[in-house]
A and B are shown apart, each in its own frame.
Chain A
Amino acid sequence: MRIEVAEPILHADMDAFYASVEQRDDPALRGRPVIVGGAGSRGVVAAASYEARRFGIHSAMPSVRARRLCPDLVVVPPRFDVYREVSSQVMGVFRSFTPLVEPLSLDEAFLDVRGAVRLFGPPLDIAGRIRARVRDETGLPCSIGVGPSKFIAKLLSGKAKPDGVRLLRADEVAATIRPLPVSDLWGAGPRTVERLTDYGFRTIGQVADADRRTLARIVGEALGGQLHRLANGVDDRSVTPHEPAKSVSAEETFADDIDDPDELDRHLLRLAEKVGRRLRASGHAGRTVHLKVRFASFETVTRSATLAQPTDRTHDLIDVARDLYAGLRLERARVRLLGVGVSNLTEGEAARQLALDVDQRWEDVERVADRVAERFDGVGVSYAALLDVAEDPGWYSGDDVRRLAGEDGREP
């Protein structure tokens, strides 16, 4: 039995995340205007503390301009490793309340708490508990919006800042959002707002009352429909916990530029193998294979090809990567970087068309090789052609390897 919850969606957003972390870790920064970002002439503000915001400083502003606005400004270089670590702590807190956590970035996430009300009380109480736990465990403030949909929850977390919480009841949504400016609509960026304003739309209510086709003409079909639905309080997007990986890739910048085609081919094979292993490990398969080549001149070319069926086989990846490379018709070009990637991913094990190919056994060879690599921590079975790639110490060079694959890594 399930308790009906009218406002099950939370949007939790850390307050001035990077800047707050810096102020937490360096007591000298507390109470002072701080920005995290590049200090150079072309640096940009990545985050601004609330003290800095009082001077009109906001993120994405050039650091030079921020300094002009506030001569006492402290500029701190970013420490992304630390932010990532704190972020996973925060997401861990969220996940201890509900499995339905959809991170939007390092410092914000949507939560669907309808399954948690039995245990922790109504959503507003859950929001309070989450804020307390985040402060206990990380020493950082966060703001939370509670509402019937993602749009409302996100709108409210913005209004709740700093260090606050806001709830809007489902039956009050329509009336409450009508007087708000169109810039509060999710998806309405500065250009869209400008276009809407040009046509006389200033409030969300005006958008809600507008003819949908008129909106579509002004801002385009998809966005027009979206804005119209949101303005009418309609937002049925669900909280999706796991954002599936969009692509898997591996690339390598060489210590010295390489122009030997055989050596490049071996690197290509190794990258394909790495990507194939990651695909198989994550249970994905992809249809589009990408090749990236950067020359000594820093000129970079990318090529891609789409297969009829998704694959996670190294064998297929290297075939396509080699074709793409050959298609560039390079003659001893000096290559600085090679990359191989796969996109257009589907869940590998979910459903895969099996092939009749006579070389079906490659799939088995690769699975066995993956298992060996897993068990012996990197030491594994690989293509024989890779045995003499000096800079990769991970490979076991034994007779077994040579028996599994021919000298050139193709068919034995």
Chain B
Amino acid sequence: MKLRAERAEFAEAVSWATRTVGARVTLPALSGVLIDAADGRMTCRATDLEVAAEVSIPVQIDEPGKVLLPGRLLSQLVARFPDAPVELSGDADRVEIRCGRATFHVRGMPVGDFPALPEPAEDAAQGIVKADAFSRLVAQVARAASSDEARPVLTGVKLEATGGRIVAAATDSYRLAVRELAWDADVEGEALVPARALQEAAKASSEAGGSITLVLEAGQVSFLFGDRRLTTRLIEGSFPNYSQLLPEGFETSVIVERAALVEALQRVAVVAMGQANTPVTLSFEDGSVDLSAGNQEIGDAAEALPAEIDGDGMAIAFNPAFLLAGLEATGTDRIRIELRDALKPAVLKPQHDPSEDGGTTSTDDFTYLLMPMRVS
């Protein structure tokens, strides 16, 4: 193999592939980046058997071929290369890398050990979404997924495509985040995507910009961003039927400034943090929301801010970290909180005021359902 590549492109390709797949190496070959030079392009591939990343860049090829090089070593090298073209040459087990006046010889691994990566089928259903909308959707939903590997289905984000919309949902059984997005495709399908892989895809899509293509297939989903592709295996098992968890109505609704509530919550929660079980209590009454938290070892805190309250007053306690995540995900200047009673889930929604709607027809497209804490 012999090829010549532009340094910045080469470095970016190698580091993206290794970074996206991460460092959970179970087999030696999985620590490698497969470099495949053919047809005027160099393709870098990396995988941990769950997620596969592939990126291709145009290069000048004198002799096509494949090598499997240690990923971390290679990305550390290229990050320090001087600004000069990169040349790769040699056999699979001894690769020479030259850049400017520097020469490296790296021992490659057997190319045959690298697993064949699943590729999306040509005729698979695909749809296109705007990259920024997609990464925002993931940011809003994926944090609600569980990190507890004991319940694999809850570590995933459920994607459902139907009738020109895509719905993403995640829950760790304490909260549930659901987001809808219009998408430019008449695709029907669903997938339970590992939250970690989806977050990588979101990161890659916000770096790439423009629009991304989602390919939904049995057992895997692929995200295509120009010359890059990320394919992830899906989680097996059935995601809870979350629509039946969403309450029908509410007793009390509250509209409050989001930033003010976030700041007050962060202050009050200082006495609750570090103690996973210390709740922050919110009392809604007489046009005000009173936040309070107490911890025998540290002390207590209270703060009040104005709110528009419709319905009976009530008090409800939450894990401050869960509430904060919900407020951050909701995004609008003002948010709406719907409550039933102190032991039933609360619903957070964006409050779209006519003035800030800016002509878009956004509806209640994000829902954050949060179970309270029971305090005696």
Contact = CB atoms under 8 A, between A and B. Distances in A.
Contacts of A119: none
B355 interface: no
Interface stretch (A152-160, A302-310, A333-341, A399-407): A302-310
Interface of A: 305, 307-310, 320, 323, 346, 349-358
B317 interface: yes
Contact of B175 (A346, A351, A356): A356
- Give the bracket for the number of chain B residues in contact with chain A: 20 to 34
A350 B277 contact: yes
A356 B175 CA distance: 7
B374 A308 contact: no
Given A305-B150, A351-B279, A358 B373 contact: no
Given A308-B148, A309-B174, A354 B277 contact: no
B372 A349 contact: no
Interface string B15-48: 0000000000000000000000000000000000
A355 B176 CA distance: 11
Nearest to B242: A356
Which 5 A-B pairs rank lowest in CB-CB distance, beginning with the nearest? A349-B376, A354-B371, A351-B279, A355-B173, A351-B375
B79 interface: no
Interface in B169-225: 171-176
6 contacts: A308-B148, A351-B278, A351-B375, A353-B319, A356-B175, A358-B245
Contact of A346 (B244, B277, B343, B372): B277
A309 B322 CA distance: 13
A212 to B, nearest CB: 24
Interface of B: 146-148, 150, 171-176, 240-241, 244-245, 276-279, 317, 319, 322, 343, 345, 369, 371-376
A308 B172 contact: yes
B174 A310 contact: no
Given A305-B150, A308-B172, A354 B245 contact: no
Given A310-B277, A358-B240, A358-B245, A353 B174 contact: yes
B354 to A, nearest CB: 33
Max chain A Cβ within 10 angstroms of own Cβ: one of B147, B276, B279, B372: B276
Contacts of A308: 146-148, 172
A308 B148 CA distance: 7
Given A308-B148, A308-B172, A310-B277, A355 B374 contact: no
B371 A353 contact: yes
A34 B31 CA distance: 70
A362 to B, nearest CB: 13
A355 B371 contact: yes
Contact of B150 (A323, A350, A356): A323
A358 B345 CA distance: 13
Nearest to A287: B276
Nearest to A323: B150
Contacts of B371: 353-356
A349 B372 CA distance: 13
A349 B373 CA distance: 10
A351 B372 CA distance: 10
A355 B240 CA distance: 13
B279 A356 contact: no
Given A308-B148, A308-B172, A310-B277, A354 B373 contact: yes
Contacts of A320: 150
A355 B148 CA distance: 14
A358 B244 CA distance: 9
A356 B319 CA distance: 14
